[in-house]
Amino acid sequence: MQTVNIRVFDTPHDAGIYVAALAEQVIQSRPDPVLGLATGSTPIPFYDALVGLHRCGLDLSSVTTINLDEYIGLPPTHEQSYAYFMHRHLFSRTNIRPENIHIPNGMADDLVAECARYDDVIRQHPIHLQILGIGVNGHIGFNEPDDLLLSKTHVVELRPETVRSNARFFERIEDVPRRAITMGVQAILQADQIVLMAFGPEKADIIARSVLGEVRTDVPASILQLHKRVTVVLDRASAQGLFDESGRLREK
């Protein structure tokens, strides 16, 4: 974020429309657009708005999608798998072609081979626009805070705070998978353009640390400061820590 590009909206709904318009620009400006996509509650208003644009005439048949991550051990038919989430919120509601959809396979017998396969997919389809949410601990995709961040697609043990936070989507905390496959930080940083979305007061602190704090591996989203084209899309609650009383962006 060498040039910090921050947009603060009144509602997640308004923010979603803005991000969908950014996606439309990318989709219309090239024959083979590649969108890097995220799950979680945050991007849902964006998916709704993109579906809305599709219903108004935006053709998505040339779009390739590459999802960030998937839980290990959940089949695509499981309601909490990210494959199921994406079909429900986007794929089943648009004309994105099934053969253009890429999501890590969390049911693969050989997870190492699956990670290598996914890196090949990313190599063949460099990402033009990467959509990101952020975990309460600063994770992007499932790149968790650690002593080092891995560049390639890898298997990750989820941190206890991530399991707790994602338990809201499961009946019992014991049902939350403890492992996931995630794209590494290299693929994220190689995207032409990145949009980081966050809503709600519980994201205010981690957004301030990610945007204004030091670049640190224990705040994975802070590495986005190294990218030259990032837009941070917030609502007022998640933006609280970024501005002083007079509404000016705080110093780094």
Residues at the site binding ligand GLP, with contacts judged by CB under 6 A? 38-42, 68-69, 133-135, 141-142, 162, 166
What's the closest the beta carbon of residue 182 comes to ligand GLP, in angstroms? 7
Whole-number Å distance between alpha carbons of 163 and 176: 6
Q: Residue 148, exposed/middle/buried by CB under 10 A (0-12, 13-18, 19+)? A: exposed
Q: Identify whether 109 is a catalytic site residue.
A: no
What's the closest the beta carbon of residue 61 comes to ligand GLP, in angstroms? 26
Q: Which of 144, 154, 166, 235 is the catalytic position?
A: 144
Q: Which of 14, 78, 137, 157 is the catalytic position?
A: 137
Whole-number Å distance between alpha carbons of 252 and 250: 7
Q: Which of 54, 69, 100, 166 is the catalytic position?
A: 69
Q: Identify whether 139 is a catalytic site residue.
A: yes
Q: Identify whether 24 is a catalytic site residue.
A: no
Q: Identify whether 137 is a catalytic site residue.
A: yes
Q: Which of 139, 143, 227, 235 is the catalytic position?
A: 139
The two tokens of residue 183 are: 């794209």
Closer to ligand GLP by Cβ: residue 69 or 235 = 69
Sheet bearing 64-67, strands edge to edge: 5-9, 230-235, 193-198, 129-132, 34-37, 64-67, 101-102
The two tokens of residue 61 are: 């048949």
What's the closest the beta carbon of residue 203 comes to ligand GLP, in angstroms? 7
Q: Are 198 and 134 in contact (CB under 8 A)?
A: yes
What's the closest the beta carbon of residue 134 comes to ligand GLP, in angstroms? 5
CA 223 and chain centroid, separation:
14
DSSP type of residue 68: S
Closer to ligand GLP by Cβ: residue 165 or 225 = 165
Closer to ligand GLP by Cβ: residue 81 or 166 = 166
Closer to ligand GLP by Cβ: residue 68 or 230 = 68
Active site residues: 69, 137, 139, 144
